[in-house]
């Protein structure tokens, strides 16, 4: 290859040409790299190739006789350059490429039989023999431009099968292949620090099973059993182990190897003497606001072992930063848990990107380290805005009214919807001129009062009942002299209406329900709510609307 920033990538450019017995010249296939869409989308042509280090001369129906090939040095600045000349004769015949002799096809699966052939005009006839070629089952003709045939084999077991493909007197027949059941649906019976039990359903016609464990490069065969369960021993806690099973027929011939499964990271149906693990992280959540102080790290540590844990090491790490290590002296009885709350401090997370946050806990005689650490992603985001601030959503694009609950509508004007499945369940959606469900939701917005005005609402249809939606505003610096006030318009009409809550982040703390929650049907009219923010004068705050749809689909609440 050429050096960095060289004008051409090809070094030692060799050119290949072929000469037929009638002295007709043949140039290699060439793709023109000219940066023009029409040229780049065009097919290859025959021309000198000064771009690639492998060139291909192709001749259809070659003239009988002696062919000669010339390799010339077009540009060889650092020769001599060694080269290799390879040729292939492609007969005008059918050649089956799958299955080949000795292949094993799995029962109860659909297989795509494949072949190569020249010409796309006449159809192919496909036949399958399941009894060593004594009888043949013919299938519908395959069009001449296709080179495959799909067939579901069903719950079958055949050990001497042949495939035949015919067209215009040409015939290709595969070598013998087998159709066997495979060992699938592997199940972990137990997982202990140094061993793991594996089981699977019996395979029809199987005389034994080969047990596989991932080695340095391959799935190594490590044992043979006639049972449908096996215990792998001598395992190392934390090692990336994978396991699989191959069924053998009565003559010892293998089926397809099962899909490999990984060793669980948690103990399963097994109890170690010393096994401490982080069960859940309570704080921080999936999203942090840049304008608020980082919260204290809070998480639950559980003793999954059979012995009491007296003192343990714990802490957290953000991205690749140095971990924060803490030594705890608490005692945790077997099966019990402990809430750990570390002193509030800056977590050192990067802004406007996803941070990897790890929490860990380990007993002093830990026997199963793989479950010591719990990882999560945390987004640190948030923008500042200035008072007075107004958002009526009229400049926003309407979001989907589909009743698919987790339809995303990430940005809603100056507000941000929480992440579905992480922070909450569904999103607030921008809408206009009424929701899709009768007897709930507003007919028009409040600001403009016409079909062009926008509002945001929660869609409760399609199974979106009793789902939470969080909508977070920008960061606001409240004045100290003049008390600030939050006002908004709401529309909560519907026999199945849910709840609307207003929360506030203030200097790192989350204050729930800074006004009485609005619960149930509030009538078919826009109503105004006003909340004094005087208790938080001089602080940096962020308003959060928390909507929860009701028990039925007649629960489309709206804000403007």
Q: Is it the case that residue 404 has pLDDT exceeding 80? A: no
Rounded Cα gap, residues 429 and 558, in angstroms: 9
187-262: CATH topology is Immunoglobulin-like (2.60.40)
CATH for 411-559 is 2.60.120.200
Q: What's the whole-number average pLDDT of the chain?
A: 91
* pLDDT score at 481: 86
Q: How do the domains of the chain map onto residue ranges?
A: 13-75, 95-180, 187-262, 276-381, 411-559
State the maximum Cα–Cα separation within the chain, in Å, rounded to a whole number: 102
Asked whether the domain spanning 411-559 has the same topology as the one spanning 276-381, the reply is no
Token pair in block for residue 166: 């015919």
Q: What is the structure's pLDDT at 557?
A: 96
Is 1's pLDDT higher than 60? no
C-alpha–C-alpha distance, residues 44 and 38, integer Å = 12
pLDDT digits (tens, 9 = 90+) for 167-207: 999 999 998 999 999 999 999 999 998 999 999 999 988 99
71 with 221: CB under 8 angstroms?
A: no
The dihedral through the CA atoms of 303, 305, 310, 315 has a sign that is negative
Q: Which of 160-174, 240-254, 411-425 has the lowest mean pLDDT?
A: 411-425
- pLDDT confidence bin for 3, thresholds 50/70/90: low
The model's pTM: 0.56
- pLDDT of 153 over the 90 cut: no
Q: Which helix (H) or strand (E) holds 152?
A: strand 148-152
Q: So what's the pLDDT on residue 90?
A: 85
pLDDT category at 322 given cuts 50, 70, 90 is very high
**Between 76 and 23, whose confidence is greater?**
23
Q: Tell me the average pLDDT across 337-366.
A: 93
Q: How confident is the model at residue 2 (pLDDT cuts 50, 70, 90)?
A: low
String of DSSP letters for 80-110: ------------SS-EEEESPTT-EEETTSE
Please give the pLDDT value at position 7: 64
Q: What percent of the chain has pLDDT over 70?
A: 98
The reported pLDDT for the residue numbered 259 is 94
Closest CA to 315 of 294, 342, 338, 275: 342
Q: Which residue has the higher pLDDT, 146 or 1?
A: 146
Of 305, 322, 325, 304, the residue nearest 314 (C-alpha): 325
Query: What per-residue confidence (pLDDT) applies to 206?
Result: 93
Q: What is the rounded CA–CA span in Å between residue 84 and residue 238?
A: 48
Q: Per CATH, the architecture of 95-180 is what?
A: Sandwich (2.60)
Enumerate residues 6+ apart whose C-beta is below 8 A from 271. 304, 305, 306
Question: What is the pLDDT, as a whole number, of residue 291?
Answer: 85
Which DSSP category does 380 fall into? E
The residue ranking higher by pLDDT, 4 or 102, is 102
8 A C-beta contact, residue 450 and residue 531: no
Sorting pLDDT into bands at 50, 70 and 90, what band is 5? low
Amino acid 380: pLDDT: 87
Lowest mean pLDDT among 34-48, 231-245, 388-402: 388-402
Of the chain, the end-to-end C-alpha distance in Å amounts to 62
Cβ-contact 389, 414 below 8 angstroms: yes
The CATH fold assigned to 276-381 is Immunoglobulin-like (2.60.40)
Q: How far apart are the C-alpha atoms of 109 and 111, rounded to whole Å?
A: 6
pLDDT of residue 516: 96
As a whole number of angstroms, the distance between CA 536 and CA 502 comes to: 15
429 closest CA partner among 475, 396, 383, 381: 396
**What's the half-sphere exposure (Cβ side, CA atoms, 13 Å) at 290?**
14
Angle at 478 between CA 354 and CA 380, to 5 degrees: 5
């Amino acid at each position: 290859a050429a050096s960095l920033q060289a004008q051409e990538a090809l070094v030692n450019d060799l050119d290949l040409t072929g000469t037929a017995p009638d002295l007709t010249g043949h140039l290699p296939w060439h793709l023109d790299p000219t940066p023009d869409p029409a040229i780049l989308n065009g097919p290859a042509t025959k021309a000198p190739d000064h771009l690639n280090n492998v060139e291909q001369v192709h001749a259809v129906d070659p003239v009988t006789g002696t062919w000669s090939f010339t390799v010339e040095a077009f540009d060889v600045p650092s020769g001599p350059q060694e080269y290799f000349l390879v040729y292939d004769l492609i007969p005008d015949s059918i050649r089956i490429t799958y299955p080949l002799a000795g292949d094993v096809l799995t029962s109860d699966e659909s297989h795509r039989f494949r072949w190569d052939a020249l010409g796309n005009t006449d159809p192919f006839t496909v036949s399958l023999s399941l009894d060593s070629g004594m009888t043949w089952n013919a299938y519908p003709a395959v069009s001449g431009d296709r080179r495959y045939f799909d067939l579901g084999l069903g719950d079958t077991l055949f050990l001497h099968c042949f495939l035949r493909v015919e067209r215009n007197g040409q015939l290709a027949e595969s070598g013998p292949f087998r159709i066997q059941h495979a060992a699938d649906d592997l199940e972990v019976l137990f997982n202990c620090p140094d061993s793991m039990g594996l089981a699977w359903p019996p395979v029809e016609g199987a005389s034994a099973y080969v047990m596989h464990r991932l080695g340095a490069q391959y799935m190594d065969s490590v044992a043979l059993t006639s049972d449908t369960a096996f215990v792998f021993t001598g395992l190392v806690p934390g090692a990336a182990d994978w396991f699989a099973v191959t069924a053998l027929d009565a003559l010892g011939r293998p089926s397809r190897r099962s899909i490999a499964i990984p060793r669980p990271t948690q103990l399963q149906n097994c109890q170690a003497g010393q096994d401490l693990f982080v069960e859940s992280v309570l704080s921080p959540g999936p999203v942090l606001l840049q304008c608020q102080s980082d919260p204290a790290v809070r998480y639950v540590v559980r003793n999954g072992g059979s012995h009491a844990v007296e003192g343990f090491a714990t802490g957290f790490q953000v991205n690749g930063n140095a971990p924060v290590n803490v030594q705890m002296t608490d005692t945790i009885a077997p099966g019990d848990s402990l809430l750990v709350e570390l002193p509030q401090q800056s977590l050192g997370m990067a802004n406007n990107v996803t941070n990897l946050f790890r929490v860990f806990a380990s007993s002093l005689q830990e026997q199963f380290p793989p479950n010591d650490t719990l990882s999560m992603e945390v987004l640190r985001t948030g923008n500042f805005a200035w008072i007075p601030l107004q958002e009526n959503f009229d400049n926003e694009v309407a979001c989907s009214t589909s009743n698919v609950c987790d339809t995303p509508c990430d940005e809603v004007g100056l507000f941000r919807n929480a992440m579905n499945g992480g922070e909450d369940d569904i999103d607030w959606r921008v809408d206009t001129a009424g929701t899709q469900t009768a007897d709930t939701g507003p007919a028009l917005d409040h600001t403009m009062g016409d079909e062009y005005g926008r509002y945001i609402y929660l869609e409760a249809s399609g199974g979106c009942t009793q789902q939470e939606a969080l909508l977070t505003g920008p960061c606001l610096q409240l004045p100290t002299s003049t008390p600030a006030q939050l006002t908004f318009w709401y529309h909560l009409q519907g026999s199945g209406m849910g709840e609307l809550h207003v929360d506030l982040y203030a200097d790192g703390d989350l204050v729930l329900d800074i006004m009485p929650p609005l619960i149930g049907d509030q009538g078919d009219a826009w109503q105004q709510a006003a909340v004094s923010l005087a208790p938080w004068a001089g602080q940096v705050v962020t308003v959060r609307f928390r909507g929860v749809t009701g028990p039925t689909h007649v629960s489309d609440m709206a804000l403007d």
